[in-house]
Amino acid sequence: MSVSKTDLTFLQIADRLAAADLPDPGEVDAVVGIARGGVVPAALVAYELKRPLRRLQLSFRDDLNRPQHDTPATVGDVPDVTGQRVLLVDDVSVSGATLKQAASLLNAASVITMAFKGSPDAADIVLFPDVPQCVRWPWFDDVAPPVRTPGAPQALIVAGVSGSGKSTVGRMLAERLGWRYVEADDHHPPENVAKMRRGEPLTDEDRIPWLDSLKQELGRSLDAGQGIVLSSSALKARYRTHLTEGRDGIQIVLLHGSAQLIADRLNARTGHFFDPNLLQNQLETLELPNPNEDLIVVDIAPSPEAVTDHVLNACDLTPASQTSTR
């Protein structure tokens, strides 16, 4: 007999996690995940709190969810969290017994328990107490690769935080391909530019007219059958969706590298309105692609010329000079 399951997406989990009444990061020294099921949930929590992750591996049920021991048994070493304030995480807790036993194994100063799914009293924090059915977690299912539009793209969006080289690489790509180049910074309304000059991060509301203007630029070129390269930060998945929604032939390329390399580049350049102190805000805002997002991530450590070559090869695009000689 099949068991009814509730599908939870990463987006639903992320939204619920962001709204959860988690402890203040200053009150947690480490996040401990109960393996196997609690490791990914604990990793998400550790990322949210910016705290180190530890693993406590317990064996209780087999892959068919049948109990193999009277009580959960430890596998391997218990993490050393002596004297630390711990947030203990599991994916599912029915009665809270496993969490209580796991907490008793930790020589911690204090333990707060958390279950992603369970009854409201199964843990100190329960992320989805409102889901009665079994859950199909997104990290346990194979994800089909994104469906690519056949053929090479007609438009490129070169994305990344300020200092990643998107304008330099974008111009090189446009020159090599003989396409029109558009710089997203030129489409910011004056009030956005003023905020950035003052070192104030833009809000999502600030970006809506800017994104609309960029989407219109892409549409004009695609409708006219002209190639276009657009350099835009496009840090969040929803910004990228806003730009590409309803259009085929657009490929997003995310230029990405270490925070130190990007900071060095920002500190070295002049004549740009971006305040280098906003880099941390941009890095925290940046959303790396999810498995369903058709996005190419390119390392910025090589030279701009090498990065440009990599993008052309990855997108199966031929420079205009080579096309003309064939």
CB 240 within 8 A of CB 234: yes
Asked whether the bond before 36 is cis by omega within 30 degrees of 0, the reply is yes
163 lies in the same domain as 297: yes
183 lies in the same domain as 274: yes
179 lies in the same domain as 305: yes
124 lies in the same domain as 195: no
Please give the residue range of the domain that contains residue 172. Answer: 155-324
160 lies in the same domain as 124: no
105 lies in the same domain as 169: no
121 lies in the same domain as 20: yes
Task: Give the pLDDT confidence of 27-53 residue by residue, as tens digits.
Answer: 999 999 998 789 999 999 999 999 999
Q: Which of 140, 171, 196 is the last residue of a domain?
A: 140
Tell me if 58 is assigned to some domain: yes
Instruction: Report how far apart the first and last C-alpha atoms of the chain are (Å, whole number).
Output: 62
CB 103 within 8 A of CB 113: yes
Tell me if 85 is assigned to some domain: yes
311 lies in the same domain as 186: yes
Q: Which of 83, 109, 140 is the last residue of a domain?
A: 140
Structure tokens at 71: 């009580």
Q: For 234-293, give the secondary structure using H, E and C.
A: CCCHHHHHHHHCCCCCEEEEEEECCHHHHHHHHHHCCCCCCCHHHHHHHHHHCCCCCCCC
Residue found under tokens 């230029």: 255
Question: What average pLDDT does range 148-162 have in this prediction?
Answer: 84
Radius of gyration of the chain (CA): 24
118 lies in the same domain as 28: yes
Q: Which of 113, 140, 167 is the last residue of a domain?
A: 140
Structure tokens at 8: 């939870």
Task: Give the pLDDT confidence of 48-81 residue by residue, as tens digits.
Answer: 999 999 999 886 554 444 555 555 666 678 899 9
Give the confidence band of 141 by pLDDT, cuts at 50, 70, 90. Answer: low
Looking at per-residue pLDDT, the higher value among 202 and 297 belongs to 297
Q: Nearest 5°: CA angle at 26, between 20 and 30?
A: 80
299 lies in the same domain as 215: yes
Tell me if 146 is assigned to some domain: no
